[in-house]
């Protein structure tokens, strides 16, 4: 048994490990062997490895302190390479064959640690040392921070992408039970038997909670027999879901809870298609919290040496994992539970050096301790510990009656491990996250759940029920009550018999005294992960820190990945003593999710890579892709940006496309434009109220351009709307505005004008749209449109016709965003690709040129057509855009009153103008600030900014649009655009550069 020298034999400790299934693993570069059923921590203990890390600040050697999620020391970087994960608690990492782990907080090794020099310098690292030391100069913090973070060494994120799948799912249930210890199992049984939908989750691989690490008896049989029967029954209930390896880490409003299931974390690598972890988002009608309790360390001098662990953990390692924490274990306690741990150790063949009890009177199990020949020292405390990399001896002294002073002779006791217990803190994290209030129980020295407005109940140790019988009874009752409240009436089953437990009260001593004052000759650790000592807390109190929240941040108590699971109550007790106040008046710090660290992968789920966000594509997308288009993201849409030919730059391609649209034929996929079908006898009146211009007199078959404003009078969207029948309109919106415009229309229809008989439906995706434009556009359409008369006299600009194009049914709008002869051909989406192909085929010999959004922008800018969201920013009125003619003076519309405000009519409002640079080759940067009075350096009065700016191939020069204060009165003025490296002189012109009379589109 050289390989696992501290593994107990089957006769002494059967354990819940599979002795026939050995597993190899590597820790800090050294090979070891463990067993199936081990955690990394239990396997290390079986191998006699206690030194697992170095502390955060002083780099003191640290050992495995716990057997659960509260572990502050044994944090490892688990696995290597792309699957590597930091901050894994060795106490929760299930062993698998080939596991590789490294201590994460030590350099270059746990045995030889360079950072330990901090220990020698600890006098200059007191509480709040970050604040005191690195405050000056402020600019240097970035530099300090880098060094601090490197020294802290809190794990490394892997460099390569995570290869695994992370899953998410929603779940709903009548009763969610958190924790599968005795209380949780009982609650799940009571609720499950009623037929209610029950989810039972537990963070461990095996359900049973503390019973797994104890030698309890239920109904005259080993408690684990009862656990097994309960799980068998639960598994057979069709509406019960058992989720082992699942941590409930967040409790939110309205009984929304978040769970993370570690589906394959216990495997070297997930199976094909198997998620590594799964995030459960649960909505529960009722919640039963059976989260148990976490043992509290005792705060005494040098209480952090490897080999010192919690007594419950020591018992668990022996009973559950058959791993002995040492050959000769001392036990130090202020309560009865450590007596049971001592008995468990002894009965498994582990030597017990002594039981040291802070209480003057021994607990009820004293007889059993003494019967085994174990020395019991009551009214004593440990005043010092010895041992470099592992505890080797303790020094014990008697305490005076008050417990404030150590008296009498010092006695040294040799040991190679120390099991300590300062009592148990109910695990109230989730209860507190649910906004539950806590109350302080001075007799027990614990915070207990008080009341909570969410539909939850607490059962078992988390509720202060310490005996097994009470846990079972509370669990059954809570489960039955929860199921009944959720509509599944049921009575609580009677709890099985358990042997009675008598117990004596614990003795609360927040700091165990020694022969030296606190802070001298050793350290009394409170927060092991953050290296906060009792002396630090006392210092903070003397410096005036009264609020526990301030104390936490100043001293960093409870700020590590363990979030103070071990330290918070001790810190609070010490603070309350320093301030001579009751802990109840000081309260606790805020408990926040997550209960234990959660991987980003679990939070992201499958919203990564190609599924990170929907990619919306049009009916013609495959053609664009095959044509080699470069795509632009417009919201979630992929729109062709430009279509580069071989060897063309973007500039070349855009110039070619822009020229073709004005000299020949351009074709644009305009499918993404928002479209809304508006019907009803009051549709025209509805539009009158929505748009700034008038709609009543629009003839059937004709189109009109309109602005809509928000109630503040600012432009909200624009587009062309067409009257298809007296009571039927086809509205178009901007691509990005489609959804919000429909919501806007519905809001006004439903909440303000219910008397108007009008219905709206989105038809954005019903129609695929190919917009063709240019002097030869009509020729191209003529070849395909067999039954529509295209004569401009009968089918003029701003009109609509229905018919067939290329053999498919179509609606053709003669509307234009380029200022050319233009037809926007709408066909049902299924025909979009066919239409596009037909147009490209028929136009091949006519020079038809597909153009993208960039050319579209240039073409419209040449015409001075605005884009909502580019020329407007929510502070621009239609009048500011020079569109006063489109704002009705007679009828009412949304925003009208706001447009009459003095501020809306100020002459110096920013108004839309054109800008021409003195040097026609210079293209202004969009967003460039404009000044009238140039100064040698800022500040200068900025009177506006460039909104759009392009090279115009049709004009052979640059053009720009801008919003400038009082811009329309500045026509012909010279202004300046100062940039970082130069200043560009510009002239203010009308915002129409090409075909200013607008003749071409009518052709």
Partner 1 sequence: MVDAPTPTSPLAGQTHLPRANGPVGVTIAERVFAGMLVLRGNAIDPAFIAAAHGALGFDLPLIANTATSAGSNGALWLGPDEWLVVTAPDDAMARAVGLKVALVGLHAAVTDIGDSRTIIRLSGPKARDVLAKGCPLDLHPRTFGPGRAAQSLIARAGVIIHQLDDIPSYDIYILASFAAYLWNWLTDAGLEYGIVPGAKL
Minimum Å gap between C-beta 726 and partner 1 is 14
Residue 619 is a binding residue for partner 1 (CB under 8 A): yes
At its nearest, how many Å lie between partner 1 and the CB of residue 677? 5
**By the rule CB under 8 A, 51 interacts with partner 1:** no
Element spanning 917, H or E: strand 910-917
What is the SS3 string spanning 645-688?
CCCCCHHHHHHHHHHHHHHCEEEEECCCCEEEEEECCCHHHHHH
Cβ–Cβ < 8 Å for 904, 881: no
Q: Kindly state whether residue 267 participates in binding partner 1, applying the rule CB under 8 A.
A: no
DSSP per-residue letters across 301-369: BTTTSTTEEEHHHHHHHHHTT-B-S-SEEEEEESSSHHHHHHHHHHHTT-EEEEEEESSSSPPTTHHHH
Nearer to partner 1 by Cβ, of 239 and 926: the residue is 239
136 has which bridge partners?
Answer: none
Provide φ and ψ at 6, rounded to 5°. -105, 15
Site mask, partner 1, residues 802-841, x = CB under 8 A? ----xxx-------------------xxxxxxxx-xx--x
Using alpha carbons, list the distances in angstroms from residue 999 to 608, 860, 865: 50, 15, 15
Nearer to partner 1, 167 or 873 (CB): 167
Site string for partner 1, 555-594 (x = CB under 8 A): ----------------------------------------
Is 613 a residue that touches partner 1 (CB under 8 A)?
yes
Among the residue ranges 163-171, 324-332, 592-600, 876-884, the one whose residues contact partner 1 (CB under 8 A): 163-171
CB 214 within 8 A of CB 319: yes
User: Smallest gap, in angstroms, from Cβ of residue 829 to partner 1?
Assistant: 4
**Piece in contact with partner 1 (CB under 8 A), picked from 267-275, 407-415, 590-598, 793-801:** 267-275
Taking the complex as a whole, the smallest distance from the CB of residue 571 to partner 1 amounts, in Å, to 40
Rounded to whole angstroms, the Cα distance separating 931 from 939 reads 10
Q: Least distance (Å) from partner 1 to the CB of residue 607?
A: 7
Q: List the x/- string, 282-301, binding to partner 1 by CB under 8 A.
A: -x------------------
| Nearest-angstrom CA–CA distance, 92 and 559 | 20
Cβ of 38: how many Cβ atoms within 10 Å?
31
Q: Quote helix, strand, coil % in the chain, to nearest 5.
A: 25, 30, 45
Consecutive H or E run containing 728: strand 728-733
The three state secondary structure string of 742-788 is HHHHHHHHHHHCCCCCCEEEECCCCEEEEEEECCCHHHHHHHHECCC
Q: Which of 30, 123, 273, 697 binds partner 1 (CB under 8 A)?
A: 273
What is the nearest approach in angstroms of partner 1 to the Cβ of residue 616?
A: 4
For partner 1, which stretch binds (CB under 8 A), given 455-463, 475-483, 608-616, 938-946?
608-616
Q: Is 846 in the site for partner 1 (CB under 8 A)?
A: no
Q: Which is nearer to partner 1, 307 or 737 (CB)?
A: 737
From the CB of 171, what's the least distance to partner 1, in Å?
7
Which CB, 622 or 1002, lies closer to partner 1?
A: 622
Q: How far is the C-alpha of 932 from the C-alpha of 936, rounded, in Å? A: 13
Q: How far is the CB of 277 from partner 1 (least distance, A)?
A: 13
Instruction: Mark 750-789 with x for binding to partner 1 (rule: CB under 8 A) and - for no binding.
Output: -------x-x-xxxxxxxx--------------xx-----
* Cβ-based neighbours of 173, under 8 Å, separated by 6 or more: 196, 197, 198, 199, 241, 282, 283, 284, 285
Which one of residues 392, 842, 942, 955 is an interface residue with partner 1 (CB under 8 A)?
842
Binding segment for partner 1 (CB under 8 A), chosen from 40-48, 140-148, 572-580, 800-808, is 800-808
The pattern of x and - marking residues 632 through 651 that bind partner 1 according to CB under 8 A reads -----x--------------
Does 615 contact partner 1 by CB under 8 A? yes
Q: 279 vs 472, which CB is nearer to partner 1?
A: 279
Alpha-carbon distance of 154 to 530, in angstroms, equals 11
**DSSP H or E segment with residue 183:** helix 182-193
* Region 100-129 residues binding partner 1, contact defined as CB under 8 A: none
171 or 455: CB nearest partner 1: 171
Q: Is 595 in the site for partner 1 (CB under 8 A)?
A: no
Kindly indicate which of the ranges 35-43, 161-169, 460-468, 715-723 contains the residues binding partner 1, using the contact rule CB under 8 A: 161-169
Q: State how beta strands 75-78 and 61-62 pair.
A: unpaired
Q: Which is nearer to partner 1, 785 or 861 (CB)?
A: 785
Any contact of residue 680 with partner 1 (CB under 8 A)? yes
- Residue number, 633 or 919, with CB nearest to partner 1: 633
With contact defined as beta carbons under 8 Å apart, do 137 and 160 qualify?
Answer: no
Q: How many residues bind partner 1 (CB under 8 A)?
A: 57
Pairing mode, if any, of strands 18-27 and 99-103?
Answer: parallel
Which of 856, 838, 828 is closest to 768 using CA atoms? 828
> Are 406 and 514 a contacting pair, CB within 8 Å?
yes
> At closest approach, how far in Å is the CB of 831 from partner 1?
6
281 binds partner 1 (CB under 8 A): yes
Crossing angle of helices 568-578 and 534-542, in 10° steps, is 40
Give the nearest distance from C-beta 239 to partner 1 in angstroms.
9
Closer to partner 1 by Cβ: residue 579 or 842: 842
Residue 358 as a binder of partner 1 (CB under 8 A): the answer is: no
* CB of 675 vs partner 1, minimal distance in Å: 10
**Residue 632 · residue 641 · CB < 8 Å:** yes
Q: How is residue 829 written in tokens?
A: 């989406």
* 442 class by beta-carbon count within 10 Å (0-12 exposed, 13-18 middle, 19+ buried): exposed
- Between CA 756 and CA 806, with CA 674 as vertex, the angle to 5 degrees is 115
Write down the least CB distance from residue 788 to partner 1, Å.
16
**By C-beta, is 483 or 859 nearer to partner 1?**
483
Least distance from C-beta 646 to partner 1, angstroms?
A: 26
Of residues 921-940, those binding partner 1 (CB under 8 A): none
CA-to-CA distance for 650 and 258, rounded, in angstroms?
48
> What span, in angstroms and rounded, lies between the C-alpha atoms of 694 and 843?
38
Identify whether the C-beta of residue 306 lies closer than 8 Å to the C-beta of residue 193: no
Closest CA to 187 of 483, 466, 451: 483
Among 31, 108, 137, 614, which residue interacts with partner 1 (rule: CB under 8 A)?
Answer: 614
Indicate which single residue of 611, 625, 700, 974 sits in contact with partner 1 (rule: CB under 8 A).
611
Choose, by CB under 8 A, the member of 21, 132, 146, 169 that binds partner 1. 169
Residue closer to partner 1 by CB (options 262, 507) is 262
Q: What is the per-residue binding string for partner 1 in 691-730, x denoting contact by CB under 8 A? A: ----------------------------------------
Q: Spell out the residues 6+ positions from residue 795 whose beta carbon is closer than 8 angstroms to its own.
A: 788, 789, 801, 814
Residue number with CB closer to partner 1 (157 or 272): 272
Sign of CA dihedral 964, 965, 970, 974: negative
Distance (Å, whole) CA 417 – CA 311: 10
Q: Is 171 in the site for partner 1 (CB under 8 A)?
A: yes
- Residues near partner 1 (CB under 8 A): 165, 167-172, 197, 272-275, 281, 283, 606-607, 610-611, 613-619, 637, 677, 679-681, 757, 759, 761-768, 783-784, 806-808, 828-835, 837-838, 841-842
């Amino acid at each position: 048994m050289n390989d696992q020298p501290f593994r107990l034999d089957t006769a002494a400790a059967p354990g819940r490990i599979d002795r026939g299934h050995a597993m190899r693993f590597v820790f800090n570069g050294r090979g070891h062997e463990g067993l199936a059923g081990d955690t990394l921590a239990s396997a290390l203990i079986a191998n006699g490895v206690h030194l697992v890390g170095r502390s955060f600040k002083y780099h003191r050697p640290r050992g495995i302190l716990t057997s659960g999620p509260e572990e502050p020391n044994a944090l490892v970087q688990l696995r290597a390479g792309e699957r590597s994960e930091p901050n894994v608690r060795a106490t929760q990492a299930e062993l698998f064959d080939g596991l590789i782990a490294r201590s994460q907080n030590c350099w270059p090794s746990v045995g030889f640690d360079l950072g330990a020099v901090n220990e020698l310098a600890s006098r200059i690292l007191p509480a709040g040392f970050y604040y005191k030391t690195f405050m000056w100069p402020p600019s240097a913090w970035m530099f300090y921070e880098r060094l601090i973070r490197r020294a802290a060494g809190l794990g490394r994120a892997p460099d390569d992408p995570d290869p695994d799948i992370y899953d998410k799912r929603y779940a709903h249930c009548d009763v969610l039970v958190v924790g599968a210890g005795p209380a949780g199992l009982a609650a799940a049984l009571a609720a499950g038997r009623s037929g209610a939908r029950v989810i039972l989750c537990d963070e461990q691989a095996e359900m049973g909670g503390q019973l797994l690490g104890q030698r309890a008896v239920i109904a005259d049989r080993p408690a684990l027999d009862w656990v097994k029967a309960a799980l068998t029954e639960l598994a057979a209930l069709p509406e019960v879901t058992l989720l082992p390896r699942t941590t409930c880490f967040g409790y939110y409003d309205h009984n929304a809870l978040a769970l993370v299931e570690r589906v394959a974390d216990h495997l070297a690598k997930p199976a094909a298609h198997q998620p590594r972890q799964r995030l459960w988002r649960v909505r529960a009608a009722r919640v039963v919290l059976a989260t148990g309790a976490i043992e509290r360390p005792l705060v005494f001098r040098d209480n952090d040496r490897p080999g010192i662990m919690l007594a419950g953990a020591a018992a668990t390692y022996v009973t559950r994992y058959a791993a002995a924490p040492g050959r000769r274990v001392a036990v130090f306690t202020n309560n009865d539970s450590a007596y049971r741990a001592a008995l468990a150790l002894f009965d498994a063949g582990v030597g017990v050096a002594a039981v040291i009890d802070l209480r003057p009177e021994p607990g009820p199990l004293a007889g059993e301790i003494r019967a085994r020949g174990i020395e019991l020292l009551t009214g004593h405390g440990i005043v010092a510990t010895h041992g470099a990399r592992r505890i080797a001896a303790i020094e014990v002294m008697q305490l005076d009656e008050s417990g404030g002073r150590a008296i009498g002779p010092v006695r040294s006791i040799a040991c190679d491990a120390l099991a300590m217990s300062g009592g148990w803190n109910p695990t109230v994290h989730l209860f507190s996250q649910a906004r539950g209030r806590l109350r302080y129980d001075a007799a027990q020295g614990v915070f207990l759940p008080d009341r909570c407005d969410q539909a939850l109940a607490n059962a078992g140790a988390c509720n202060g029920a310490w005996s097994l019988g009470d846990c079972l009874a509370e669990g059954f009752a809570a489960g039955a009550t929860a199921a009944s409240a959720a509509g599944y009436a049921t009575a609580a089953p009677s709890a099985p018999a358990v042997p009675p437990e008598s117990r004596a009260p614990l003795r609360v001593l927040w700091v165990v005294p020694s022969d030296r004052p606190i802070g001298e000759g050793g350290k009394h650790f409170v927060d092991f992960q953050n290296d906060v000592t009792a002396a630090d807390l006392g210092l903070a109190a003397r410096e005036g820190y009264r609020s526990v929240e301030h104390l936490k941040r100043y001293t960093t108590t409870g700020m590590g990945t363990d979030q103070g699971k071990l330290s918070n109550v001790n810190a609070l007790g010490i603070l309350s003593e320093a301030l001579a106040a009751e802990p109840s008046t000081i309260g606790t710090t805020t408990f926040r999710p997550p209960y234990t660290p959660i991987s980003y992968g679990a939070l992201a789920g499958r919203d990564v890579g190609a599924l990170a966000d929907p990619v919306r594509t049009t009916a013609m997308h495959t053609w664009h892709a095959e044509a080699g288009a470069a795509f632009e993201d417009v919201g979630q849409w992929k729109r062709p940006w430009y279509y580069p030919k071989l060897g063309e730059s973007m500039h070349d391609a855009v110039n070619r496309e822009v020229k073709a649209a004005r000299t020949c034929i351009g074709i644009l996929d305009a499918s993404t434009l928002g479209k809304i079908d508006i019907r009803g006898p009051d549709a025209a009146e509805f539009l009158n109220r929505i748009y700034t211009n008038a709609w009543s007199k629009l003839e059937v078959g004709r189109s009109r351009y309109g602005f809509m404003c928000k109630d503040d009078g600012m432009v909200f969207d624009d587009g062309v709307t067409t009257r298809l029948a007296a009571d039927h309109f086809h509205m178009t919106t901007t691509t990005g505005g489609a959804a919000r415009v429909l919501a806007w229309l519905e809001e006004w229809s439903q909440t303000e004008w219910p008397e108007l008989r009008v219905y709206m439906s989105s038809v954005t995706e019903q129609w695929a749209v190919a917009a063709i434009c240019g002097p030869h556009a009509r020729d191209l359409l003529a070849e395909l449109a067999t039954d529509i008369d295209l004569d401009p006299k009968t089918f003029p600009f701003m009109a609509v016709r229905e018919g067939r194009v290329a053999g498919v049914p179509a609606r053709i709008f003669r509307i234009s965003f380029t200022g050319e002869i233009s037809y926007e051909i709408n066909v049902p989406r299924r025909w979009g690709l066919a239409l596009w192909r037909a147009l490209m085929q028929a136009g091949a010999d006519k020079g038809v040129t597909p153009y993208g959004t960039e050319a579209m922008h240039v073409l419209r800018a040449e015409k001075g057509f605005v884009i909502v969201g580019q020329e407007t920013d929510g502070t621009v009125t239609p009048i500011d855009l020079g569109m006063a003619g489109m704002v009705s003076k007679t009828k009412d519309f949304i925003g009208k009153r706001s447009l009459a405000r003095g501020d809306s009519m100020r002459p110096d409002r920013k108004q839309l103008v054109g800008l021409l640079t003195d040097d026609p080759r210079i293209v202004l940067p969009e967003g460039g600030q404009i000044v009238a009075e140039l100064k040698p350096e800022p500040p200068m009065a900025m009177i506006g900014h460039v909104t759009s700016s392009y090279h115009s191939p049709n004009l052979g020069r640059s053009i720009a649009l801008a919003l400038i204060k009082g811009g329309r009165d500045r026509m012909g003025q010279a202004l300046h655009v100062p940039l970082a490296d130069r200043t560009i002189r510009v002239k203010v012109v009308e915002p129409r550069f090409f075909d200013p009379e607008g003749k071409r589109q009518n052709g």
